[in-house]
């Protein structure tokens, strides 16, 4: 053995050890110790073991991929599940390596695994890739959590360079978020801003070449994250203001700028940027109008507060609360002056105006709205109020709806609904006297519907 080892070069010995390690790791350890003992003059061989071990893991990882790939590097659907099982087994080996304290080696193997997954061509009908990436993320999270300061730097560099990519949808947000949360709000702000900047640049590059939905939104998310990090960095008012002004075209950026001004008691500047943005966006931005309404209200500038309270109404995002607020601010006399104009314009933005008409006490408009609806929508909800205000018209609508229901044939359930609506009519004194006449008419008109006649016949009039 000694003579054989002496004739080998260091490179040949390295390859021999690696070859044996791939087949039998215990034998590899014995052979390595024998080599060191029999050939003590081989300088540097003491460092061979960790390098061999790392390369052994990488070659095992490559074997998992190559085993299931065809000559074009493709993994078809018949091999996909077996590939997943083998790779999961390999990740179990990585768990053992982490448990033994081999964090650096585990990290090197994991980033190689991510790179291989990035280049993977596979029929993913069974969702194999997502399952594998989720398991890989768990290992990366653990490494981030256990890392010392030196390893954190290494992981940070990898995150900046590689985490945004084809597998980014699965791991980008979670890995980066975990990495950022590893430090307090005011720790390592420079690195965090650097990371956000790098991601923004990558997303913008993708947006130029890829027709992929949501890339610009993704870039905006990272711009906001970068702004938040910058605001925590201890910079001066002027420095933060300068950066925030660059992003005021974004809703979130503008909102952050306004909050920043208000935090520093600069309400005048906050209103100025909001008015400028509102004008630039052609007076159509709901949240800006509502923010200006609230700010003018706090300043007791009621004229401009009422003006923007009305502007907030004419938007699909406005709510019934915005309507109530404006009506209360207008007062009884002021509301009478603008009521018709406001309700007419508001109708352009609201699918169902009945709740607004009710708050305004306009049951005539509710009645008109129900008459125009194809299925008498809302009739039951407002029936009693309409009966008090317009009894004849209300009864007419209820009977007309019954007539529409009777036109259509159906099963017993349909006829039960007709009977139930007849019973509801008995609650209105003016309707009770018209029901017998209606039923006699149906007996002639729908005599070919025995089921319907049977159910109606059970009514005790």
Phi/psi for 68 (5° steps) reads: -105, -5
| Domain boundary residue, one of 162, 180, 198 | 180
The domain boundary residue, chosen from 163, 180, 197: 180
In a domain, 112, yes or no: yes
> 227 lies in a domain?
no
Instruction: Say if 254 falls within a structural domain.
Output: no
Question: Does the residue 246 lie in any domain?
Answer: no
Given a contact cutoff of 8 angstroms between Cβ atoms, the answer to whether 320 and 289 are in contact is no
Q: Are 101 and 143 in contact (CB under 8 A)?
A: no
pLDDT of 172? 52
Angle of CA points 288, 292, 337, to nearest 5°: 105
Residue 308 lies in a domain: no
Instruction: Name the residue with higher pLDDT: 175 or 267.
Output: 267
Number of domains making up the chain: 2
- Lookup result for tokens 């791939």: 22
Question: H helices of 232-319, where?
Answer: 237-246, 251-263, 267-280, 286-298, 302-313
429-458 tens-digit pLDDT:
788 788 888 888 898 888 888 898 888 888
Residue 63 CB contacts under 8 Å (≥ 6 apart), including other chains: none
Angstrom distance (rounded) from CA 157 to CA 101: 21
At 459, is the pLDDT very low, low, confident or very high (cuts 50, 70, 90)? confident
Residue 110 binned pLDDT confidence (cut-offs 50, 70, 90): confident
The percentage of residues in the chain with a pLDDT greater than 90, rounded to a whole number, is 18
pLDDT at 325: 92
Instruction: Look at residue 71 and give its three-state secondary structure.
Output: coil
What confidence score (pLDDT) does residue 60 get? 84
75 in Cβ contact with 68 (< 8 Å): yes
Domain final position from 149, 164, 180: 180
CA 26 to chain centre: 50
Residue 384 lies in a domain: yes
Q: Give the C-alpha separation, 177 to 159, whole Å.
A: 11
pLDDT on residue 11: 58
CB-based contact 46:36 (threshold 8 Å): yes
Each residue's pLDDT tens digit, 359-413: 999 999 999 998 887 778 888 888 888 888 998 888 888 888 888 888 888 788 8
Q: For residue range 68-83, what is the model confidence (pLDDT) as tens digits?
A: 888 888 998 888 899 9
The 8 Å CB, 24+ separation contacts for 141-149 are 141/174, 141/175, 141/178, 142/98, 143/98, 143/103, 143/106, 143/107, 143/110, 144/175, 144/178, 144/179, 144/182, 145/178, 145/182, 146/98, 146/103, 147/103
Whether 26 is in a domain gets the answer no
> Rounded to a whole number, what is the distance in angstroms from the first to the last CA of the chain?
113
* Mean pLDDT to the nearest integer, 33-56: 53
Q: With contact defined as beta carbons under 8 Å apart, do 388 and 395 qualify?
A: no
pLDDT at residue number 269: 94
3-class DSSP assignment, residue 328? helix
User: What's the confidence (pLDDT) of residue 226?
Assistant: 76
pLDDT band (50, 70, 90) for residue 293? very high
For residue 25, what pLDDT band results from cuts at 50, 70 and 90? very low
Tally of helices (H runs) and strands (E runs) in the chain: 25, 2
Q: Which residue has the higher pLDDT, 208 or 237?
A: 237
Give the integer Cα–Cα distance in Å for 134 and 232.
Answer: 31
Nearest to residue 354, comparing CAs of 319, 323, 396, 363?
363
Note whether residue 232 is domain-resident: no
Q: Which of 281-290, 300-309, 334-343 has the lowest mean pLDDT?
A: 281-290
Query: In which domain, by residue range, is 385 found?
Result: 363-457
């Amino acid at each position: 053995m000694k003579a054989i080892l002496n004739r080998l070069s260091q490179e040949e010995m390295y390859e021999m050890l690696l070859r044996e390690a791939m087949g039998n790791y215990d034998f590899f350890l014995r052979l390595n110790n024998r080599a060191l003992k029999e050939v003590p003059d081989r300088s540097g061989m003491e460092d061979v073991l960790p390098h061999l071990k790392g390369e052994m893991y990488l070659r095992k990882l490559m074997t998992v991929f190559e085993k299931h790939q065809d000559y074009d590097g493709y993994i078809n659907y018949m091999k996909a599940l077996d590939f997943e099982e083998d790779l999961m087994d390999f990740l179990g080996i990585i768990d053992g390596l982490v448990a033994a304290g081999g964090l650096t080696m585990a990290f090197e193997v994991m980033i190689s695994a991510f790179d291989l997954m990035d280049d993977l061509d596979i029929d993913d009908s069974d969702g194999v890739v997502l399952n594998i990436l989720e398991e890989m993320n768990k290992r990366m999270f653990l490494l981030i959590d256990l890392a010392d300061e030196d390893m954190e730097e290494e992981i940070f560099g990898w995150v900046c360079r590689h985490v945004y990519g084809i597998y980014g949808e699965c791991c980008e947000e979670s890995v980066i978020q975990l990495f950022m949360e590893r430090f307090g709000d005011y720790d390592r702000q420079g690195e965090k801003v650097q990371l956000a900047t790098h991601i923004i640049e990558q997303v913008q590059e993708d947006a130029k070449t890829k027709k992929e939905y949501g890339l610009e939104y993704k870039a905006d998310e990272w711009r906001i994250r970068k702004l938040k990090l910058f605001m925590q960095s201890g910079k001066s008012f002027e420095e933060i203001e300068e950066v925030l002004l660059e992003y005021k075209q974004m809703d979130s950026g503008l909102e952050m700028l306004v909050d920043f001004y208000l935090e520093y008691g600069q309400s005048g500047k906050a209103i100025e940027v909001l008015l400028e943005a509102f004008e630039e966006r052609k007076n159509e931005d709901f949240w800006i109008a509502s923010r200006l309404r609230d700010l003018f209200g706090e300043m007791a500038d009621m004229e401009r507060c009422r003006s923007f309270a009305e502007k907030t109404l004419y938007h699909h995002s406005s709510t019934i609360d915005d309507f109530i607020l404006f009506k209360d601010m207008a007062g009884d006399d002021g509301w009478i002056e603008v009521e018709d104009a406001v309700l007419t314009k508001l109708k352009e933005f609201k699918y169902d105006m009945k709740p607004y008409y009710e708050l305004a006490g306009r049951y005539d408009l509710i009645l008109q709205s129900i008459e125009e609806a194809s299925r008498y929508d809302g009739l039951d909800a407002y029936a009693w109020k309409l009966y008090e205000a317009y009894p004849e018209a209300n009864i007419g609508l209820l009977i007309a709806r019954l007539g529409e229901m009777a036109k259509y044939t159906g099963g017993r359930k349909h006829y039960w609904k007709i009977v139930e609506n007849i019973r509801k009519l008995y609650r209105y004194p003016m309707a009770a006297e018209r029901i017998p006449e209606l039923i006699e008419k149906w007996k002639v008109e729908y005599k070919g519907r025995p089921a319907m006649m049977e159910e109606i016949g059970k009514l005790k009039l």
